[in-house]
Structure 1
Amino acid sequence: MKLPPSPWQTRESMAELLSALGVEAGDTRYVGGCVRDTLLGLDVSDVDLATRLEPEAVVERLGKARIKAVPTGLAHGTITAVLGGGPIEVTTLRRDVSTDGRRATIAYTDDWREDAARRDFTINALSADPLTLAVHDYFGGEADLVARRLRFIGNPLTRIAEDHLRILRFFRFHARFGEGEPDEAALEACVARANDLMALSRERIADELLKLLALPAPAGTLRLMVERGILRPVLPEIVMEGVDRLDALVASEIAAGVETAPLRRLAALLPPDVEIAAAVAARLRLSKRAAKRLISAASQEGTADAPEALAFRIGAEEATDRLLLAQAPAERVKALAAWEKPIFPLTGGDLIAMGLRPGPVVASILRKVERAWIQGGFSADPEEIRKLARARVDQALRDRQ
């Protein structure tokens, strides 16, 4: 099999990079996702190269070719070549010396098969010669691509013991590339070793779960994961009712034409409880911004209000989350698609000019006028807004007498 010619292969400065890395001598190949996705006819964004050259030699050769080299993963043999068409990672062929399920101690090798053998799935172990575009397949990855089948390389239990994150990666890659029932040996290995997930950093778990939730239709895979107890050791809050909510949410997103949001989908998987959402956000060590969004999505407050009124209070993004999770009609969600938050046109100074004395009463009246303005549909008529304020200021002045 040969790799079809694709635009990414002729990116700016790609030819110079490949020449510098000895492609004519067979020292460097395309590897991993760019090979897999090209064979599947998918768009390629990230391009990775594998090379027999050790990192120091890569840096030296790129320097001579006047290509910027950044040692982004030097401990693992990875150098990033900065090209005009985008960065490309160049990694020296490796073999594992030891692993503990979280990290590996590696040694360099010049054996392409040995490097491919340390990868997770057969479809990720493909490489291709940049000159001839011939695909090198050591473990049946081409046949698995055709069959839309995801298999670990070798013994699944061994692969999982090397890196526990491969449990979650198996389900994500099956959701993206697989069809039909998952490979039985792989599935049983994931079930048997699910408790290994507890040894991983919560950041890695969050990253992998959110990548899965970003896929077009993740509910079927999540249903299988819940059925087989995969997430129970680290996220026991996710049960079958949550998968049902996720299924309904995906349908609502499609009906409203709303872009996928992994955090919104995570909120669907969790019980609609802000305290639970806060606990999960803390456990997964989400950023402050992500935690705020997840917690907001867990609340159903304000979903019966006008969509614009809810968006004014909490923001259009978070309002969209709440409406979708509440199964609001698509028209209510679509109302926020191009909505821009209006600016409330009054200030405390305006109320003081109407006769109020400076003090707490000014802030109180200002809030009341703002609420009336929101309920009235955010009028832009200065006279109408002034009437709203005048009525409440006059009432406050009468109450003071």
Structure 2
Amino acid sequence: MSETIGQRPWMTAPETARVLDALEAAGGADCARFVGGCVRNTLIGRPISDVDIATTLTPDAVVMALEAAGVRAVPTGVEHGTITAIADHKPFEVTTLRRDVETDGRRAVVAFTTDWMEDALRRDFTLNSLYARRDGTVFDPTGHGVADARAGRIVFVGDPEQRLREDHLRSLRFFRFLAWYGKGEPDAAAVAAIEAWKDDVARLAAERISAELLKLLAADDPRAALRLMADTGVLAVVIPGPWDFTRFEGLVEIESEQLFETDPVLRLAALLPNDQIAAHQLAERLRLSNAERDRIVAALAPTPVFKSWMSPREIRRAVYRLGAEAFRDRAKLAWASANRTAVAPQWRGMIALGEGWSPPAFPITGDEVLKSGVPKGPLVGEVLREVEDWWVDHDFLDDKMSAIEKLKSVAQGMVY
């Protein structure tokens, strides 16, 4: 009996039907099938995000078919056979069946084919080598994809070393899929091959490495996968040690127990030592965005020291000085390094107070400093900083006249 996932709403949606109808009008029934993650996740009861389609049509024929049906076609990866179809504002990656002709582990030269088995045999893992017709009938060319998906086995298609030689990124993808879908003991053949070929990961573009790493860290519980990544030596290629696994695993535990959203960027910061210079250098090497780099560096600042018993006044001061995001990050990292169970209410209360408080605007302006008799120049900034420090120390005193009196006193002392 054939395996089936039935006809799900995402399969029968009008925009999906528009794309499939367009392809089938050019290539006939069954020239296009759903492939990969959407089939896998539907099979095991996980939510899906992207809908990918494999087709026997060549890329040129795909473009012609889509445009004839009024569907926008974008050649996002045409050299590898991928056209992005945009129907009713929803993107679908449509990729021609292919086989590798030549590969150096970083990029591949492909030839197009009409053989579904050839296409399946060049994919990475058996659970990703699954196809489904629009009626829900599942095709499992390797013969193991359905069973491996349900059992949580991350197994390479064919010989693991050959798959890794074809694309070094597959080492990182193994750990990512292990974190998201793995159950039980990892596949021994896969682990042995990854350990043997670990140094080739360094040849990958930094953007590919960081994207895969952050996807791994976004899993609900990536702890075991990351530990294995360290044991095989792959983690050292990506992130030179030392690593703070205690804090990293503590943060994952907190997010799970306290129902915080998974935060891959903060998890990366948690794994790193408290060295802002090294963190900045790593972020640059991984080509993280400026926002991600700055966030990680700020999260690893040595001061102020966060404790669960910080007073409301100290919390407000920290939020004002650090900003809301950096305050929350610093609090979570300190919590992850501490006794997480005994003082959870205090930490959670601290974070809630910090998130719920909006810092007031400093009531003194540069013009008011000038009016107090301070001449233009660096002295204006010095006076502002001293008065602001006084204002913060007085817990953001809501009394502008008092701030003006303090300004006069400071200005008089500095000018005369």
User: Does the pair score TM above 0.5?
Assistant: yes
Does 219-228 or 257-266 show the bigger shift?
257-266
**1:178 to 2:182 alignment:** yes
1:70 correspondence with 2:74: yes
2:118 is equivalent to residue 138 of structure 1: no
The question of whether the paired residues in 2 share the 8 Å contact of 1:226 and 1:232 is answered with yes
Distance in structure 2 (CA, Å) of the matches to 1:336 and 1:9: 44
2:403 to 372, 388, 391: 388
User: Is 2:346 aligned against 1:352?
Assistant: no
Unaligned runs of at least 5 residues, structure 2: 339-346
For 2:126 and 2:294, the matched residues in 1 are separated by 39
In the alignment, residue 141 of structure 2 is paired with which amino acid? Y
Q: Identity over aligned residues, as a percent?
A: 45
Moved more, 391-400 or 324-333: 391-400
SS at match of 2:95: strand
Q: For 1:50-199, list aligned pairs within 5 A.
A: 50-84=54-88, 86-130=90-134, 132-139=135-142, 140-199=144-203
- Are 2:351 and 1:333 aligned? yes
CA contact (8 A) 2:161 2:193 kept: yes
Q: Is contact 2:369–2:407 with CA below 8 Å preserved after alignment? A: no
For residues 250 and 57 of structure 1, the distance between their equivalents in structure 2, rounded to whole angstroms, comes to 47
**Counterpart position of 1:25:** 29
Matched to 1:376, the amino acid is H
C-alpha contact (below 8 Å) 2:198/2:232 kept by paired residues: no
CA separation of 1:27 and 1:234: change in aligned 2, threshold 3 A: same
Q: How does 1:245-284 map to 2 (within 5 A)?
A: 245-254=247-256, 257-284=259-286
Matches within 5 A, 1:219-368: 219-239=223-243, 242-254=244-256, 257-304=259-306, 306-327=314-335, 329-368=347-386
Cα separation, partners in 2 of 1:255 and 1:356, compared to 1, 3 Å: farther
* Counterpart-to-counterpart distance in 1, 2:57 and 2:190: 33
Q: Is the 8 A contact 2:152 2:183 kept in 1?
A: yes
Q: Is the 1:11–1:85 Cα contact (8 Å) retained in structure 2?
A: no
The CA RMSD over aligned residues, in Å, is 2.0
Q: From the superposition, tell whether residues 352 and 236 of structure 1 become closer, same or farther in structure 2 (CA, over 3 Å).
A: closer
Shift of the 349–254 alpha-carbon distance from structure 1 to 2, 3 Å rule, reads: farther
**Structure 1: which 5+ runs fail to align?**
none
Inter-partner Cα distance in structure 1 for 2:199 and 2:271: 20
Q: CA deviation at 1:230?
A: 1.9
CA distance in 1, matches of 2:122, 2:267: 33
CA contact (8 A) 1:99 1:163 kept: yes
Cα pair 1:300 1:326 within 8 Å, conserved: no
The amino acid of 1:274's aligned partner reads Q
The 3-state SS of whatever aligns with 2:84 is strand
Superposition deviation, residue 238 in structure 1:
4.5
The Cα offsets for residues 209-251 of structure 1, whole Å up to 9 and x where unpaired, read as: 1111111111221112212322223322254xx2221011223
Once residues 108 and 292 of structure 1 are traced to their aligned partners in structure 2, the CA distance between those partners, rounded to angstroms, is 43
Contact 2:6 2:137 in 1 (8 A): no
Asked if the contact 2:383–2:410 (Cα under 8 Å) also holds between the matched residues in 1, the reply is no
Contact in 2 for aligned 1:100/1:162 (Cα 8 Å): yes
Matches of 1:79 and 1:141, distance apart in 2: 25
SS of the residue aligned with 2:234? coil
- The CA deviation at 1:26 is 1.2
Deviation at 1:391, TM superposition (A): 2.6
Once the two structures are superposed, residues 99-137 of structure 1 have per-residue CA deviations (whole angstroms, 9 ceiling, x without a partner) of 11111110000001110111000000000011x210000
* Separation in 1, partners of 2:139, 2:54: 13
82-91 vs 365-374, which moves further: 365-374
**Cα distance change of structure 1 residues 390 and 254 upon mapping to structure 2, 3 Å threshold:** farther
Indicate if the aligned counterparts of 1:256 and 1:331 stay in contact, CA closer than 8 A: no
Check conservation: 1:303, 1:310, Cα contact below 8 A: no
Query: TM-score when scaled to structure 1?
Result: 0.92
Give the drift of 1:269.
1.2
List structure 1 runs of 4+ shifted beyond 6 angstroms: none
Q: d(CA) in 1 for partners of 2:110 and 2:176?
A: 26
Total equivalences in the alignment: 395
For the residue of structure 1 that corresponds to 2:46, the secondary structure is: coil
SS in 2 for 1:69: strand
User: Shift in Å at residue 310 of structure 1?
Assistant: 2.4
On the 8 A contact 1:252/1:330 being kept in 2, the answer is no
